């Protein structure tokens, strides 16, 4: 069926489904699975399609990760016998406060519940997503990997009609090449958006339907991760280490994770809140510096780095959640912002939100509804354990934003004494891009050069992320104005994009006439979305590149 004319490229085919899901991560796949489970239990048929922008399911999935199995158990009570890759039980928790040379371990009896991981599993979330993809396909879900949803489609009444995938074979000038293939329209009775944090289409929907009205600004962090194979003598399967403090100053939110998987592998990473103020700060360099701490580097001596990646994390919590529903669809997973920052966990929340949305969709389809608001989804969330968990954690991020000392004390009181039931809710007053101070009011940070054994540069890191984009395509990091990077960002903030990007995408170079200009190395992009979030003038807009572009994380 061909029903829409694109003046530039001609006609676009369309396909009809009951439900289209944008994003093949834990939220999207769990929604698809739950829809099919409910249909099977009632002996009915429901057509479900999942679009995934990565080259395969799991290719773009990046997380620590320690996984709470509560939602997985609800989705598949028999997940163990089905072979779900939750194989490494957490055996020990350590929380360390770091100074430059010392580490002080917090007694486990004083750790709030959010830092205790008994009963959880150290996992590769990419492997979990691949397993969920297999379960979904066995239930009859149609999965199209390598086809990013690039555009939201609307009905005449303004409700969401579905999405369109991006065109392929368009050159840098926006012209069709010999390899041109037009995008496909996918129409649905309901469309669920599960793109992850700072979703490209989710952001548009939040603006169009004013879903963030009367909500706090969403606040984000960037998580940078490496996967290592280490000396077996230093490996302890199930060991979970978190740190706070050095190398960040006490006023900057952040910390690390070091998780021991199986096969002598460890996942090590660093999280930096994107509300930081000093434009000279580089989250990537802070991560590299962290690994040199005496208590941390000992794990990596004689080891080998296997993979690298980065991803933004939606950390605002309950008070930053947008309205979840709009005519014709809903936001699920990190596209809405369900991550629990206090636990550094979002996968269980993503799975649960996907299930809740799926149940609301199924009940609507059962009575022949379509294109309306799924009020039952929002109501079910408010009645769920997920809402209760996020309510307990709601003050964690605002307290920690006040500095490590005050934050640690107040989080302890909030979680240990008040059990998350304080009669107040702290607010997020500012979006992350509003927080940078002018460079002339800040102290430059001099970072040590990488040694190539423990610490590395950006380009060698991007290489092992397996990132690739077709070079002759429109740059997917769009600028609203080409003058702002030099006239504002460089002049006022010393060009922070060359430091907050963990992949070397942005460089300031001198043109032939001697003037500075911004060079965008889009091929390096890890799809972390940090630039879209942190750019002080919101001049950078991340849009979907051609299908299958981006990183390919085999074990992350």
- Is residue 2 scored above 90 in pLDDT? no
- Is residue 504 scored above 80 in pLDDT? yes
How is the chain split among helix, strand and coil, in percent rounded to 5? Answer: 30, 25, 45
**What is the SS3 assignment for 81-141?**
HHCCCCCEECCEEEEEEECCCCEEECCHHHCCHHHCCCCCEECCHHHHHHHHHHHHHHCCC
Predicted confidence at residue 514, as pLDDT, reads 87
* Ramachandran bin of 214, using left for φ above 0, alpha for ψ from -120 to 50, beta for the remaining angles: left
Chain CA centroid to CA 54, Å: 14
Please report which confidence band the pLDDT of residue 8 belongs to, taking 50, 70 and 90 as the band edges.
low
Mean pLDDT, residues 121-150 taken together = 97
| DSSP calls for 186-214 | EEEEEEEE---TT-HHHHHHHHHTTTTTT
Lowest mean pLDDT among 53-67, 166-180, 299-313, 529-543: 166-180
Please report which confidence band the pLDDT of residue 496 belongs to, taking 50, 70 and 90 as the band edges.
very high
Alpha helices in 323-473 (DSSP H): 347-366, 375-382, 385-392, 396-400, 404-412, 458-463
Query: Contact at 8 Å (CB) between 321 and 381?
Result: no
- Is residue 54 scored above 50 in pLDDT? yes
Query: Contact at 8 Å (CB) between 296 and 258?
Result: yes
- Please give the C-alpha separations between residue 72 and each of 22, 33, 63, 336, in angstroms, as whole numbers: 20, 11, 16, 19
Structure confidence by residue, pLDDT tens digits, 55-91: 999 999 999 899 999 999 999 999 999 999 999 999 9
Query: Contact at 8 Å (CB) between 342 and 114?
Result: yes
Euclidean distance between CA atoms 153 and 312, whole angstroms: 26
Structure tokens, 465 = 């992320």
Structure confidence by residue, pLDDT tens digits, 444-487: 999 999 999 999 999 999 999 999 998 899 999 999 999 999 99
Please report which confidence band the pLDDT of residue 554 belongs to, taking 50, 70 and 90 as the band edges.
confident
Q: Would you call 335 helix, strand, or coil by DSSP?
A: helix
Predicted confidence at residue 11, as pLDDT, reads 78
Query: For 135, how many CA atoms within 13 A lie in the half-sphere containing its CB?
Result: 29
Predicted confidence at residue 9, as pLDDT, reads 63
- Please give the C-alpha separations between residue 116 and each of 68, 90, 163, 396, 400, in angstroms, as whole numbers: 11, 10, 41, 15, 18
* Ramachandran bin of 401, using left for φ above 0, alpha for ψ from -120 to 50, beta for the remaining angles: alpha
The structure's pTM equals 0.96
- Higher per-residue confidence, 70 vs 110: 70
Phi, psi (rounded to 5 degrees) for 170: -105, 130
Euclidean distance between CA atoms 531 and 535, whole angstroms: 5
**What is the SS3 assignment for 470-531?**
CCCCCCCEEECCCCHHHHHHHHHHCCCHHHHCCCCCEEEEECCCCCEEEEECHHHCCCCCHH
Strand partners, 152: 163
On average, the pLDDT of the chain sits at 95
Mean pLDDT, residues 286-307 taken together = 98
Phi, psi (rounded to 5 degrees) for 86: -110, 85
Mean pLDDT, residues 306-328 taken together = 97
Structure confidence by residue, pLDDT tens digits, 319-345: 999 999 999 999 999 999 999 999 999
Structure tokens, 230 = 């280490």
- Is residue 267 scored above 50 in pLDDT? yes
Token pair 């690039």 is at which residue? 150
Query: Contact at 8 Å (CB) between 412 and 400?
Result: no
- Is residue 214 scored above 50 in pLDDT? yes
Mean pLDDT, residues 101-120 taken together = 94
- Is residue 1 scored above 70 in pLDDT? no
Buried-exposed string 187-207: b where 16+ CB fall within 10 A, e elsewhere:
bbbbbbbbbbbbbbbbbebbe
- Is residue 398 scored above 50 in pLDDT? yes
Percent of the chain surpassing pLDDT 90: 93
Percent of the chain surpassing pLDDT 70: 98
Q: Which of 387, 388, 400 is nearest to 426 (CA)?
A: 400
Predicted confidence at residue 548, as pLDDT, reads 84
Phi, psi (rounded to 5 degrees) for 332: -135, 165
The burial class, CB within 10 Å (0-12 / 13-18 / 19+), for 421 is exposed
Chain CA centroid to CA 521, Å: 21
Dihedral, 105, 110, 113, 117 alpha carbons, nearest 10: 40
Structure confidence by residue, pLDDT tens digits, 347-391: 999 999 999 999 999 999 999 999 999 999 999 999 999 999 999
């Amino acid at each position: 069926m061909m029903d829409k004319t694109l003046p530039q490229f001609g006609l676009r085919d369309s396909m009809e489904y009951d439900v289209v899901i944008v994003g093949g991560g834990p939220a999207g796949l769990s929604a698809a699975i739950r829809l099919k489970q409910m249909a099977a239990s009632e002996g009915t048929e429901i057509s479900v399609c999942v679009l995934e922008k990565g080259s395969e399911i799991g290719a773009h999935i990046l997380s620590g990760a320690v996984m709470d199995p509560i939602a997985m158990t609800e989705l598949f009570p028999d997940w163990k016998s089905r072979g779900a890759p939750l194989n490494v039980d957490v055996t020990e928790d350590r929380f360390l406060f770091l100074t430059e040379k010392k580490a002080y371990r917090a007694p486990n009896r004083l750790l709030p519940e959010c830092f205790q991981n008994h009963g959880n599993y150290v996992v590769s979330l990419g492997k979990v997503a691949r397993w969920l993809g297999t379960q979904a396909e066995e239930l009859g879900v149609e999965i199209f990997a390598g086809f990013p949803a690039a555009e939201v489609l609307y009905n005449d009444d303004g409700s969401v009609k579905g999405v369109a995938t991006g065109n392929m074979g368009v050159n840098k000038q926006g012209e069709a090449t010999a390899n041109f293939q037009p995008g496909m329209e996918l129409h649905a009775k309901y469309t669920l958006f599960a793109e992850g944090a700072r979703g490209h289409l989710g952001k548009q929907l939040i603006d169009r339907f004013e879903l963030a009205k009367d909500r706090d600004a969403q606040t984000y962090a960037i998580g940078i991760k490496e996967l290592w194979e280490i000396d077996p003598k230093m490996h302890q399967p199930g060991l979970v280490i978190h740190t706070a403090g050095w190398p960040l100053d006490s006023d900057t939110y952040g910390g690390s994770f070091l998780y021991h998987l199986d096969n002598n592998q460890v996942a090590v990473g660093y999280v930096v809140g994107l509300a930081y103020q000093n434009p000279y700060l580089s989250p990537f360099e802070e991560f590299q510096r962290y690994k040199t701490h005496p208590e941390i580097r000992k794990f990596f001596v004689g080891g080998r780095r296997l993979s690298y990646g980065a991803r933004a994390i939606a950390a605002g919590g309950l008070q930053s959640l947008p309205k979840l529903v709009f005519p014709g669809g809903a936001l699920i997973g990190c596209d809405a912002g369900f991550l629990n920052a206090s636990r550094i966990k979002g996968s269980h929340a993503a799975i649960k939100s996907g299930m809740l949305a799926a149940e609301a969709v199924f009940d609507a389809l059962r009575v022949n509804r379509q294109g309306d608001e799924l009020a039952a989804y929002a109501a079910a969330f408010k009645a769920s354990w997920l809402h209760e968990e996020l309510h307990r954690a709601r003050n964690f991020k605002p307290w920690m934003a006040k500095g490590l000392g005050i934050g640690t004390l107040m989080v302890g009181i909030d979680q240990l004494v008040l059990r998350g039931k304080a009669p107040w809710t702290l607010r997020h007053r500012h979006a992350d891009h509003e927080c940078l101070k002018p460079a002339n009011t800040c102290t430059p940070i001099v970072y040590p050069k990488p040694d190539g054994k423990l610490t590395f540069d950006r380009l060698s890191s991007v290489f092992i992320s397996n990132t690739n984009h077709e070079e002759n395509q429109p740059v997917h990091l769009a600028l609203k104005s080409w003058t702002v990077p030099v006239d504002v960002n460089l002049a006022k903030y010393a060009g922070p994009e060359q430091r907050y990007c963990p992949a070397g995408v942005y460089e300031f170079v001198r043109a032939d006439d001697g003037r500075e200009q911004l060079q965008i190395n889009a091929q390096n992009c890890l799809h972390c979305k940090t630039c879209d979030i942190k750019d002080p003038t919101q001049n950078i807009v991340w849009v979907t590149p051609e299908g299958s572009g981006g990183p390919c994380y085999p074990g992350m």
